[in-house]
Chain A
């Protein structure tokens, strides 16, 4: 794997048991992503987008083939090593925001830093910076129940970005948001990609998201159907 290759999969296969039968979610997928990419996996439901993200995010393991992420082979990682990889190097953004309900926005953003044992003074600065990136410095003390959907997703972005990971995985990040909030968070992510150099990999079938992508990989039935560069039509572009 070259230094620029953040992710490289080779003949990646994922098969799920489904009752007595088996479903092939990924079928010999070969993909590479470089640092700083703003790419998306698109395709219909069941095409394998989320499965790919889960494997690359070390939340799941391949049935066969190989998935290299940041120089680590996902299929060889122990639970502890996978957790450490996620904690240090990968940020996640989910469709349903997945904020910890008992924590304030500030504490939600603080959580990954606590796991990384970042000293408190440095932690505070990093959290405030992250909340500032997403424009929520004034909502630091709000709990998730007091935030709108858009605000919640922006807190989730701040949480994913606070540790400045090289890779951020976003699974249908706009699915629960209206158009205005969708564009808002996509612009935020695009800005972070540009300013911090973080690689973004989306799983989506939202046209709004696709409008911001610089690379689109279309998955159909677990195979790569198209892999094409795009000229962003909505965002500010790189």
Chain B
């Protein structure tokens, strides 16, 4: 208790120096928490968007379907089994057919995926109704990023080419009936959405589908033969991995900030031990053991961490709360990050992370404070009293 009391008095007695050190560490705490919150917020928003726009409550894949290998698409289709057809008829699932193709915007060829979806579906939150409402011979729906990339706008006509099961190529002009604003690249990039029945006709695959998306909350029946059920965890796995890779930056960020704080504390400790040799000698003369002196100096250093937590809470919590509430606009360049992000990111802070970072900084601060005190163990009290080093 006496050690704590003295440590507290000593650290507060150093005035602005202690607060500066504490501020640097609090900066690391708050910045790292914010950084983590942004990544977690991105993750949450991206997962929500992916579920709302693409994955629903899980998907049944035709057994040959591999989203990473377009060459499998030629074989990745089959007539809908009875139980899946029933779910589709009841509005609890939406069938999709995926066919490889190409388009020729401004006379240039571009490989794409033609995706057929029921225009009347309400399961996924994107405007397929535009396909039904249009009077165009072959209505097509594309995403805003793709539209921008190929220079297409609503009302434009574009030639589609695809391969039929026999191997022959076929082509037809489609009319862009709507350009949807979406943040989800996987329903946007190099994709042209067509009415399901039209694509089935064009590809000569009547009644067939590549995948079936379940409505969120719908119980998933056992996958019929020739189909595989992919639950939401499986479908979001890539996204989570991508977010994890973004987390590396977060760790680097944390290490840099924390190192700055720790450097300041280490420096303060070394200087403090050097300048306070006479005081160390006095404490020993008054009856302190070397262990108590080491504890005193370590505690003084560790108190920087505690001050930092208090300081960080004072200025950081309101700031972090405000950010979580108001969000912040994503810079235009963020589109290339590979994660679906809305116009604003709303940071999401996890109590576990905040607690973890606080404990980590306290532990590291204590350790860094302890290191220079090894000098005290070597310091002879008689030298210390004269202000000398041993």
Contact = CB atoms under 8 A, between A and B. Distances in A.
Contact of B381 (A59, A88, A101): A59
A96 B388 CA distance: 14
Interface string B1-42: 010011001101100000000000000000000000000000
A48 to B, nearest CB: 13
Contact of B287 (A94, A99, A112): A112
Given A59-B381, A94-B282, A98-B278, A83 B289 contact: yes
A54 B5 CA distance: 28
B247 interface: no
Interface in A130-161: 159
B286 A115 contact: yes
A92 B286 contact: yes
B230 interface: no
Interface residues of A, number: 27
A30 B380 CA distance: 25
A31 interface: no
B286 A86 contact: yes
A98 B382 contact: no
Contact of A92 (B2, B9, B285, B380): B285
A159 B285 CA distance: 12
Contact of B382 (A60, A83, A86): A60
A54 B385 CA distance: 10
A111 B10 CA distance: 14
Contact of B285 (A50, A57, A102, A116): A57
A101 B288 contact: no
Contacts of B163: none
A60 B279 contact: no
A101 B382 contact: no
B122 interface: no
Contacts, number: 66
B312 interface: no
A103 B381 contact: no
Interface string A59-97: 110000000000000000001100110111000101010
Nearest to B384: A59
A87 B287 contact: yes
B73 interface: no
Given A54-B382, A101-B13, A102-B13, A96 B278 contact: yes
B290 interface: yes
A59 B284 contact: yes
Interface in A197-228: none
Among B10, B278, B284, find the residue whose CB has the most chain A CB atoms closer than 10 A: B284
A72 B282 CA distance: 22
Contact of B10 (A99, A102, A116): A102
Contacts of A94: 282, 285, 385
Given A98-B278, A98-B282, A86 B287 contact: yes
A54 B281 CA distance: 11
A83 B385 contact: no
A238 interface: no
A79 B381 CA distance: 11
A196 interface: no
Interface in A34-63: 50, 54, 57, 59-60
A98 B387 CA distance: 11
A159 B290 CA distance: 20
Given A98-B385, A100-B279, A59 B285 contact: yes
A114 interface: yes
Contacts of A80: 289
A94 B2 CA distance: 23
A195 B383 CA distance: 34
A60 B285 contact: no
A29 B286 CA distance: 26
A59 B385 contact: yes
Contact of B286 (A60, A101, A102, A111): A111
B279 A101 contact: yes
Contacts of B385: 59, 94, 98
A115 B288 contact: yes
Contacts of A57: 285
A112 B286 contact: yes
Contacts of B287: 83-84, 86-88, 112, 115-116
A100 B278 CA distance: 10
Interface of A: 50, 54, 57, 59-60, 79-80, 83-84, 86-88, 92, 94, 96, 98-103, 111-112, 114-116, 159
21 contacts: A54-B381, A59-B284, A79-B289, A79-B290, A83-B289, A84-B287, A86-B285, A86-B287, A94-B385, A98-B278, A98-B279, A98-B282, A98-B385, A101-B13, A101-B279, A102-B13, A103-B6, A111-B2, A114-B2, A114-B5, A116-B287
